Amino acid sequence: MGRFINPFTDFGFKFLFGREVEKELLIDFLNDLLVGEHIITDIQFLNNEQQPEVKTERGIIYDIYCVTDTGERIIVEMQNREQPYFKDRALFYLSRAITQQAKKGVWDFQLDAVYGVFFMNFVMDKDMPAKIRTDIILSDRDTGKLFNNKFRQIFIELPNFNKEEDECENDFERWIYILKHMDTLDRMPFKARKAVFERLEKLASKANMTQEERAQYEEEWKIYNDYFNTLDFAEKKGIQKGLQEGIQKGRREGRQEVLIETARKFKEMGFTTEMIAKGTGLSKEEIEKL
């Protein structure tokens, strides 16, 4: 392991971007993501575990869920494992953040804008031209004119970012370069250009973590590393294809036993309950019983 934490472990991602005490990091990243479009001066973290609106529905656990000082709700998600219906899941997440704004009694249906920012350690559409960032808005199909500004999705496909340090042209690209390579860097680049990267260097340094934080991070890093090693092995042996086909078949046919068997295999590989729930759609309670 290198000098800095891996920001794409669950602990590392939330340690950097999901804490009130260090919210300036997330604010700075979001402003560089939305440069020329929106300026965020403050955010408030919301409860990332959203209960279902009725008992028969499923709840949602966001990685990061916050609201800006001007009312925009922002969901930030990190996804390491490829999912067959990830676009649908992203749509579902934002839709829940919209429907939860409903008010009892007389209401004029005015909504706060909802943004979804999705980091992905995989490529969504392998048959499409490679791009690092995909922005989704609601617009008129014929004119391209914005129809409603209350819904926005931004997908960041990390495997498609291949620029070297000296090739980064703006602060958004500098953020992506650092995040993608952080756990292998021996120094934090771009500090002279932007003060927040100096703060990031101190925060991301494992030497500055408490003993408890270090132990939790290393445990999750082991799972993260084992996961990607498993994928490499699975690609060679055809296991990954079989697992993915099992998930797709279970969802397509509604066969609970197929999803349960798939979840059991993931559990044997050491994946966390939350990771398995995201991948299969099973509840945490169902997985914990396996």
Encode pLDDT of 86-113 as tens digits: 999 999 999 989 988 988 889 899 999 9
- Average confidence (pLDDT) over 255-283: 73
Predicted local distance difference test score (pLDDT) of residue 271:
74
Distance, CA of 247 to CA of 48 (rounded, Å): 26
Structure tokens at 77: 């998600």
- How many C-beta atoms lie closer than 10 Å to residue 215's C-beta? 11
User: Tens digits of per-residue pLDDT, 22-73?
Assistant: 999 999 999 999 998 889 999 999 887 765 555 444 556 788 999 999 999 9
Structure tokens at 5: 């934490």
User: Tens digits of per-residue pLDDT, 139-193?
Assistant: 999 999 999 999 999 999 999 999 999 999 999 999 999 999 998 999 999 998 8
Predicted local distance difference test score (pLDDT) of residue 198:
93
**Amino acid at site 260:** I
Predicted local distance difference test score (pLDDT) of residue 88:
93
Estimate to the nearest angstrom the gap between the alpha carbon of 63 and the chain centroid.
Answer: 6
Distance, CA of 82 to CA of 252 (rounded, Å): 17
Predicted local distance difference test score (pLDDT) of residue 56:
46
Name the average pLDDT for the chain. 84
Output the CA torsion sign for 156, 159, 162, 164: positive
Long-range contacts of 271-274 (CB under 8 A, 24+ apart): 271/223, 271/227, 272/10, 272/223, 274/10, 274/61
**Amino acid at site 199:** R
36's torsion region: left (phi>0), alpha (psi -120 to 50) or beta? left
Is the separation of the CB atoms in 112 and 72 below 8 Å? yes
Is the separation of the CB atoms in 116 and 93 below 8 Å? yes
Predicted local distance difference test score (pLDDT) of residue 263:
79
| Sequence ranges of the domains in the chain | 10-208, 249-289
**Whether residue 228 has pLDDT greater than 90:** no
- Average confidence (pLDDT) over 269-287: 76
What pTM, to 2 d.p., does this model score?
A: 0.75
Estimate to the nearest angstrom the gap between the alpha carbon of 49 and the chain centroid.
Answer: 15
